[in-house]
A and B are shown apart, each in its own frame.
Chain A
Amino acid sequence: MAEKKELDRRLGIKGWALGGRWGFERYLYTLHRITGLGLVTYFLLHILVTSTRAFGGRAIWDPLMGTLGSGFFKAGEFLVFAGFAIHGLNGIRLILIELGIATGKAIEPEYPYPTSVGNQRPLAITVSILAAVLIVLGAYNIFIAH
């Protein structure tokens, strides 16, 4: 009998965007992961940068913040804020879904089978709008008010 060949079902990172006809929530998933990786990269550097104030005092802190307050770093600061807004609000949505809140009541499966995504979509749209509002406020604070 011929040996059964095991198929590789691992889509890996390319599956974030190239897995098929993804819906809106799938792109939120991709965005969640990209922002998460961006935030953790920034955070590891942030620990090292903010520690300088404890070990070097004002003599190091003031010139460092002078450099980090320039245009290029302001754009980076905005990206971090936008990443936080998207990741944080979408994270709340994911927890609500995981806890079974905002998924709608369970119903008997009758043909044509409905999808629960329809019940979840309003929450996905709401958090996306809230994230957009927060990003606009952050942009105002970072680029205009300061």
Chain B
Amino acid sequence: MRQTRGWFFHVAAGLALVILLGTHMTIMHLDQVTGGAGNADPALKPVDWENVTQRGDSPWMALFYIAFLGAALFHGLFGTRTILLETDFGARNRKTLTAVIVIVGFGLFIFGSAAAISFVQMSQAVVM
């Protein structure tokens, strides 16, 4: 039952990522194709500081980053665990492997969320 629930959330996170990662990739890697969608200055690169801080100048961006981070970490780490459990090593160390993945996932989620909130606060101060 727990495995089924995990698989359900894996698929749900995958669906969320189609939208969240799709949006991120369109803004960051298809900017010249879309005419600079999501970038304040289409003449600059999406990673240029002016565009980065303009994008970060909204509390909604913090929410976007945190949802994106959570969905990507869950989907990616659950998928990695599924693959590793198919190996002899994974089958022998199932509990340890799960514990390591949960700790890494929560650790990166807390670190990434703190970075996202700090970045949005900093961008609001820069753009003001």
Contact = CB atoms under 8 A, between A and B. Distances in A.
Given A12-B86, A12-B88, A54-B119, A88 B21 contact: yes
A40 B32 contact: no
Nearest to A36: B79
Interface residues of B, number: 39
A131 to B, nearest CB: 13
Contacts of A55: 115, 118
Contacts of A140: 32-33
Contacts of A57: 122
Contacts, number: 88
Given A47-B69, A91-B14, A36 B108 contact: no
Contact of A98 (B11, B30, B114, B116): B11
Given A53-B52, A53-B119, A145-B33, A39 B11 contact: no
Contacts of B11: 95, 98
A141 interface: yes
B14 A65 contact: no
A47 B111 contact: yes
A33 B83 contact: yes
Contacts of A39: 76
Contact of B32 (A12, A95, A145): A145
B88 A141 contact: no
Interface in A46-60: 47, 50-51, 53-55, 57-58
Given A51-B111, A95-B15, A141-B31, A65 B76 contact: no
A106 interface: no
Contacts of A145: 32-33
Given A37-B83, A54-B118, A10 B17 contact: no
Interface of A: 10, 12-13, 33, 36-37, 39-40, 43-44, 47, 50-51, 53-55, 57-58, 61-62, 65, 68-69, 77, 81, 84, 88, 91-92, 95, 98, 137-138, 140-142, 145-146
Interface of B: 11, 14-15, 17-18, 21-22, 25, 29-33, 45, 47-49, 52, 69, 72-73, 76-77, 79-80, 83, 86-88, 91, 108, 111-112, 114-116, 118-119, 122
4 nearest A-B residue pairs (beta carbon): A145-B32, A40-B76, A51-B115, A54-B119
